[in-house]
Amino acid sequence: MGQNRSPASRHVFRSATRGLALAAILVLQAPATIAAEVGGGVLRVAATDVPAALGNPFKSMGATAGSVWDLIFDCLMRFDQSGALAPGLATRWENPNPTTWRFHLRSDVRFFSGAPVDASAILKTIEILKSHPEYPVSGEISTIARVAAIDKLTVEIVTTVPDAILPRRLALVRIVDPAVWEDLGPDQFARTPGGSGPYQPNNWGQTGGKIILKANTASWRAPKSVSQLEMTILKDATTRVQALLSGQVDVALSLNPDDMQTLKTDGFNVYVSKSGQVQVWALPNLLKPNSPLNDVRVRQAMNFAVDKEKISVTLLNGIALPASQGGTANAFGYNPDLKPYPFDPERARRLLSEAGYPQGFSMIADVVVGLGPADAQIHQKAASDLGNVGIRVELRTTPYSARPGKFYGGMWGDADAFSTTWNSGLYRDVIRSAADFACTKPNPFFCDEEITALVKQSQSLMDTRQREQTLQQIMKLNHVAATSLWLVEYNTIIGLAPRISNFATRSTGMAIEDVLLTQESRN
């Protein structure tokens, strides 16, 4: 592979970083003063982590990876900043029958290599995914039976069954340059990704762990002001805040609530991104044959034992509400009739006793920290509250980069439970995460046949009202079955330098191409 390269791909290949892993720690340089010319500015972002799969956009569904990949690649569909489905590479689409979708593409869109983004590229991207069923994103095309290029700018997709949310699924399928993928192979492509988005990687971690992306002015969503994006990986939220306050970066992602007032006092802006995610501990009933979590009474007891209101008010300063289900109010299928489990330790103890655990039990929870507001403190608070009713929790921290392999590969070791998010933000629809908590998930960790039957049914219901009612029933059954320890809705706090305006996030990442740089950076 890679011996007979086209001139464009040879140029891409020569710029590759061979075998380099991204460093996790960066020694910050003294900030430069950058003129605020439209189209000529550098935006410096302090991020939490790098995509575990580097530039392979098919190997993860997480927001961390999406923040980078959304800038490098385009999709047929996209979500706007309100969460509504909007045109992407496809300007319009129709559904002539329940199993057929037809997408009409933009003209004159090109990959970084200069190759056209046409119907053939869409077809070949889907073929690539079909040939890699191990990739998490492959699940988004599982209903696709065949793809046809009707002409250069028209793609027809036929599904095996009616798929009501195929356009939403395709908003997560990033279109790759198939010639570069074939020429380099998945591993090298991950270091030299070929896309058509508003930014092209200029380096992939050669220098101190930075990701540098240069503006692609030929993109149909060409950047308005930011000509270069520099993403620095700083694992600790306090370090990210300090970098922002000192002028070393312009944007600091995933801050803690306690940082908000400090930033505002010093003249910085704070952006709270309502991501559509719910922070939970998954409470599996399939990981261990004799696990106490296999009993619904134990799972319900855990929900009664944890004071979610106190987490919301004390740890999160009220920016996130206690969770009642795996969706937020702006997601299709959210059930407004469900209320969070009340804090009731006595009821928790009674349920544990009824389940045969009057003295409680010990368990291991695998948690990821450093990705959201006060997440380490939230997990500690949950473990402490559970300890008060006799459930002795050992918290084990997993780096984010290791989590996709565990979640999709089912490699949980001796863990009993794990932290995760129900992410209705991916689709602005609750089905994606509901399907992860069903028997049909590859390497499933929770199985309830009634819930699974409704999940299957909901994916083929073309009647909007019927489908909404089915999704709301799925939310109710998950609430009652306590498939998760529902914690809080998961909003992200982002700190912004005064020079930044028009900053916004989408469900799949940051809209950096729309950012305006209006002031000089701080010295």
Same domain, 520 and 382: no
Q: How far apart are CA 288 and CA 521, in angstroms?
A: 54
User: What is the spatial distance between Cα 514 and Cα 43, in angstroms, rounded to a whole number?
Assistant: 12
- Same domain (yes/no): 83, 68: no
Average pLDDT over residues 362-371: 92
Q: Reduced to 3 DSSP states, what percent helix, strand and coil does the chain have, rounded to the nearest 5?
A: 30, 25, 45
**pLDDT above 50 (res 1):** no
User: Which of 148-162, 206-220, 321-335, 451-465 bottoms out in mean pLDDT, i.e. has the lowest?
Assistant: 206-220
Q: What is the pLDDT of residue 129?
A: 94
Question: Within a domain: residue 9?
Answer: no
Confidence band of 111 (pLDDT split at 50, 70, 90): very high
Question: Has residue 425 got a pLDDT over 70?
Answer: yes
Looking at the structure, tell me whether residues 435 and 340 fall in a common domain: yes
For residue 303, list its beta bridge partners.
none
**185 within some domain:** no
Tokens of 424: 């209705």
Q: Is residue 327 part of a domain?
A: yes
At 256, is the pLDDT very low, low, confident or very high (cuts 50, 70, 90)? confident
Supply the angle between the helices 178-191 and 119-130 in degrees, to the nearest 10: 50
pLDDT for the residue 62: 64
243 domain residue, yes or no? yes
pLDDT greater than 50 at residue 439:
yes
Confidence of residue 9 (pLDDT cuts 50, 70, 90): very low
Pair 513, 472 in one domain: no
pLDDT score for 30: 29
- Residue 244: give its domain's CATH number: 3.40.190.10
In eight-state DSSP terms, residue 431 is H
> Which residues fall within 8 angstroms of residue 417, CB to CB, at 6 or more apart?
281, 282, 283, 284, 293, 363, 364, 365, 366, 485
* Residue 4 located in a structural domain: no
| Distance (Å, whole) CA 86 – CA 189 | 28
Per-chain mean pLDDT for the chain: 87
Section 255-272 average pLDDT: 91
- pLDDT top residue among 305 and 1: 305
The pLDDT assigned to 258 comes to 86
For residue 44, list its beta bridge partners: 230
Asked whether residue 326 falls in the same domain as residue 443, the answer is yes
> Do 331 and 476 belong together in one domain?
yes
pLDDT above 60 for 239: yes
Instruction: Check whether 20 has a pLDDT greater than 60.
Output: no
Domain count across the chain: 3
Q: Where does the pLDDT of residue 360 fall: very low under 50, low under 70, confident under 90, or very high at 90 and above? A: very high
Q: Are residues 301 and 403 in the same domain?
A: yes
Say if residue 293 is in the same domain as residue 212.
no
Written as one letter, the residue type at 212 is: I
pLDDT band at 520 (very low <50, low <70, confident <90, very high): low
| pLDDT computed for residue 65 by the predictor | 67
Give the residue from 175, 208, 235 where a domain finishes. 175
Q: Does the pLDDT at position 17 exceed 50? A: no
Domain that holds residue 296: 275-491
- 522 in the same domain as 508: yes
Segment 127-134 shows an average pLDDT of 93
- Same domain as 163, residue 292: no
240 and 307 assigned to the same domain: no
CATH of residue 154's domain is: 3.90.76.10
d(CA 408, CA 386): 27
Residues 79 and 68 placed together within one structural domain of the fold: no
Q: Got the DSSP string for 279-307?
A: EEEE--SSS-TT-GGGSHHHHHHHHHHS-
SS3 for 206-260 is CCCCEEEEEECCCCCCCCCCEEEEEEEECCCHHHHHHHHHCCCCCEEEEECCCHH
